[in-house]
Amino acid sequence: MSRQTNLMGNPLDLLGEEVRPGDAAPGFNLASNDLNAVSLDDTSGVRVINVVPSLDTPVCDAQVRRFNEEAATLEGVSVYCVSCDLPFAQKRWCGAAGVENVTTLSDYKDGNFGVAWGTMIDALKIQSRAVFVVNGHNTVVHAEYVPEVTEHPDYDAALAAARGAA
């Protein structure tokens, strides 16, 4: 059975399996803004992994800005944003938006994050909208796959999970 998300009401298939609370966080290999490889093992502690289709769209822009603001109040929590935007575009967007509390990571090379975490929209080869919280033991403690890509995630639930795991 295929998993789906919706984009303006149109169903689109997702690659990979759904990640649920209690699951071990799947591994990944992403690119930082300076093109260095970043894996799950390069991160530690409590992490919010904020997944967006593209930083250059209104909801994604607002979502990352919101997590950037909240990150300043999340002691002991790291916040990441994963998209398929090129690292150069991510760096440009962060500079223009004044985003300094979120680390952007790109899945542009092969979509391995999207497949491992079940967020890759097959037809478009971009991420769907999702938010995960991973604790210091690499266990997923919160997972939200937003059913309509153009809608916001439940910020309060994700932030509560991050605070509870810290």
Amino acid 135 reads N
Cβ-in-10-Å burial (0-12, 13-18, 19+) of 19 comes to: buried
Task: Given the residues 60, 81, 84, 94, select the one marked as catalytic.
Answer: 60
CB atoms within 10 A of CB 59: 18
Whether 84 is a known active-site residue: answer no
Q: Is residue 90 helix, strand or coil? A: helix
DSSP string, 26-84: PP-EEE-TTS-EEEGGG--SEEEEEE-S-TTSHHHHHHHHHHHHHHTT-TTEEEEEEES
Select from 53, 77, 73 the least CA-distant residue to 134: 77
**Gap between the Cα atoms of 103 and 8, Å rounded:** 28
Query: CA Rg, the chain, in Å?
Result: 14
Catalytic residues, by residue number, are: 60
